[in-house]
């Protein structure tokens, strides 16, 4: 089953060589028709879930997507699912599905960096490769995957690294899951962290998620951003810290005050590689902070939102950051 949500893969422009275009314009059946080889590798069907640029992706759409995938895979209607999606927030939806789809069957996200109308559009081959991975029994049990530009990434590891290049996704945490070349797959590893069928998160009865904000740390950052989030009802704040999840002393103080009130403060990093460890330059034990470990700010926010759906202690939430 191919579930379409929009993105540049469904984008169109006035000409094949112009930089400007609009995401989420082409319907799923047109995208499928642009890949003539598909019927030879799988029995496929398309469904339009949304048609937005992924900068406009919402948790309402993500929840619908997870529910639909759980139904399709659980009822045996599909042996695998491909989600077409914009690349801007693809890592967030991939990670969300990695925690909320309860199946070993392959779930594969794909997209493109060039619109469907571009000269050398990258969408059709990405879609072909994504279907090949979703139809491959060996892809099962590897969590939610992202297939782009011949690479197979795991949801936990990948991040977007370039604003325009077709080689934009990298997996700085633990490396690639594998490669796929015109439909031929090769796997290097399985995900290290818990996912999908081993996940303890559930969306049963869930229609919205608690508010968690991200605050980007920088030199001489204004500490009152923390108060602004708390006043607007944030139940958690992820600090996209500098270096090893750092922030200036004024922000540490405001964040500690919020943590004392029960707001969950997670220290992540604006640096694209490396872990954020506990009690390095900031005394997490004393200040009641959580370290994001391997998760970048955008994914840390998703984990924290899902964690906040149930009553959990701070220690329990720290455990989740080490487990997922
Ligand atoms: N390459 C892309 O897909 C970018 C687009 N803004 C999106 O995320 O929908």
CA of 186 to the centre of ligand 1 (A): 27
Cα separation of 157 and 134, whole Å? 19
Cα separation of 257 and 259, whole Å? 5
What does the pLDDT look like over 222-240, one tens digit per residue? 999 999 999 999 999 999 9
Please list, in sequence order, all residues whose beta carbon lies within 8 angstroms of the beta carbon of residue 100, skipping any fewer than 6 positions away: 66, 70, 199, 201, 202, 203, 306
The percent of residues in the chain predicted with pLDDT above 90, rounded, is: 100
Task: Report yes or no: 321 and 293 within 8 Å, Cβ to Cβ.
Answer: yes
Q: Work out the mean pLDDT of the chain and round it to a whole number.
A: 97
DSSP reduced 3-state for 87: coil
SS3 readout for 162-206: CCCCCCCEECCCCCCCEEEECCEEEECCCCCCCCHHHCCCCCCCC
User: 194 falls in which pLDDT band (50, 70, 90)?
Assistant: very high
Rounded alpha-carbon distances, angstroms, from residue 228 to 10, 234, 246, 258, 285:
37, 9, 19, 11, 24
CA of 118 to the centre of ligand 1 (A): 14
Instruction: Give the model's pLDDT for residue 323.
Output: 98
User: 305 falls in which pLDDT band (50, 70, 90)?
Assistant: very high
pTM beyond 0.90: yes
Kindly indicate whether the ipTM for this predicted assembly is greater than 0.95, answering yes or no: yes
Average pLDDT (59-66) is 98
Catalytic residue among 30, 58, 84, 87: 87
Task: Report yes or no: 159 and 172 within 8 Å, Cβ to Cβ.
Answer: yes
Atom 1 (ligand 1) nearest CA: 113
Instruction: Give the model's pLDDT for residue 210.
Output: 98
Task: Report yes or no: 240 and 215 within 8 Å, Cβ to Cβ.
Answer: yes
DSSP reduced 3-state for 109: strand
Percentages (nearest 5) of helix, strand, coil residues in the chain: 35, 20, 45
Domains of the chain, first to last: 2-198 (3.40.50.1170), 212-323 (3.40.50.40)
**Catalytic residue check, 8:** yes
Task: Report yes or no: 163 and 169 within 8 Å, Cβ to Cβ.
Answer: no
**Catalytic residue check, 87:** yes
Cα-Cα end-to-end distance for the chain: 27
What does the pLDDT look like over 168-185, one tens digit per residue? 999 999 999 999 999 999
Hey, which of 5, 11, 31 would you mutate to test ligand 1's pocket, going by the most ligand atoms within 8 Å of its Cβ?
11
Instruction: Give the model's pLDDT for residue 116.
Output: 96
Closest CA to 106 of 139, 72, 78, 132: 139
Quick one: CA torsion of 43, 98, 177, 134, rounded to 10 degrees? 0
User: 188 falls in which pLDDT band (50, 70, 90)?
Assistant: very high
Question: How many residues in total does the chain contain?
Answer: 324
Please give the angle made by the CA atoms of 104, 193 and 265, to the nearest 5 degrees.
Answer: 125
Quick one: CA torsion of 98, 101, 105, 106, rounded to 10 degrees? -40
Instruction: Give the model's pLDDT for residue 86.
Output: 98
What does the pLDDT look like over 130-148, one tens digit per residue? 999 999 999 999 999 999 9
Quick one: CA torsion of 276, 278, 280, 286, rounded to 10 degrees? 140
CA of 202 to the centre of ligand 1 (A): 28
What does the pLDDT look like over 244-281, one tens digit per residue? 999 999 999 999 999 999 999 999 999 999 999 999 99
The response to whether residue 111 sits with its C-beta less than 6 Å from ligand 1 reads: yes
Strand-strand pairing, 145-148 and 151-154:
antiparallel
Average pLDDT (26-33) is 97
Instruction: Give the model's pLDDT for residue 240.
Output: 98
DSSP reduced 3-state for 9: helix
DSSP reduced 3-state for 34: coil
Instruction: Give the model's pLDDT for residue 218.
Output: 98
């Amino acid at each position: 089953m191919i579930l379409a949500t929009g993105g540049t893969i469904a984008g169109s422009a006035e000409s094949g060589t112009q930089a400007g275009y609009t995401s989420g314009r082409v319907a799923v059946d047109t995208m499928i028709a642009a890949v003539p080889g598909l019927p030879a590798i799988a029995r496929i069907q398309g469904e339009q879930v949304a048609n937005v640029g992924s900068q406009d992706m919402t948790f309402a759409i993500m929840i619908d997507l997870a529910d639909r995938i759980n139904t399709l895979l659980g009822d045996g209607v599909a042996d695998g699912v491909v989600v077409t999606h914009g690349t801007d927030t693809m890592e967030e939806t991939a990670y969300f599905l990695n925690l909320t789809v309860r199946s070993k069957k392959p779930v594969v996200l794909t997209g493109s960096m060039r619109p469907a109308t571009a000269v050398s559009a990258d969408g059709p081959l990405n879609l072909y490769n994504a279907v090949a991975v979703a139809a491959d029994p060996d892809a099962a049990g590897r969590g939610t995957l992202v297939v782009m530009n011949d690479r197979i990434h795991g949801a936990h590891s990948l991040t977007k690294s370039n604003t325009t290049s077709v080689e934009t996704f990298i997996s700085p945490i633990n490396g690639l899951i594998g490669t796929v070349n015109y439909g031929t797959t090769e796997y290097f590893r399985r995900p290290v962290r818990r996912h999908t069928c081993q996940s303890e998160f559930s969306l049963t009865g869930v229609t919205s998620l608690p508010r968690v904000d991200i605050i980007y740390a920088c030199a001489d950052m204004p500490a009152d951003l923390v108060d602004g989030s708390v006043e607007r009802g944030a139940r958690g704040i992820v600090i996209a810290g500098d270096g090893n999840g750092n922030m200036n002393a004024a922000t540490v103080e405001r964040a500690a005050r919020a943590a004392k009130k029960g707001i969950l403060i997670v220290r992540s990093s604006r640096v694209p590689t490396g872990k954020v460890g506990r009690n390095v330059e900031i005394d997490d034990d004393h200040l009641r902070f959580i370290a994001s470990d391997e998760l970048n700010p955008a994914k840390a926010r998703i984990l924290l939102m899902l964690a906040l759906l149930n009553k959990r202690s701070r220690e329990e939430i720290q455990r989740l950051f080490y487990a997922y």
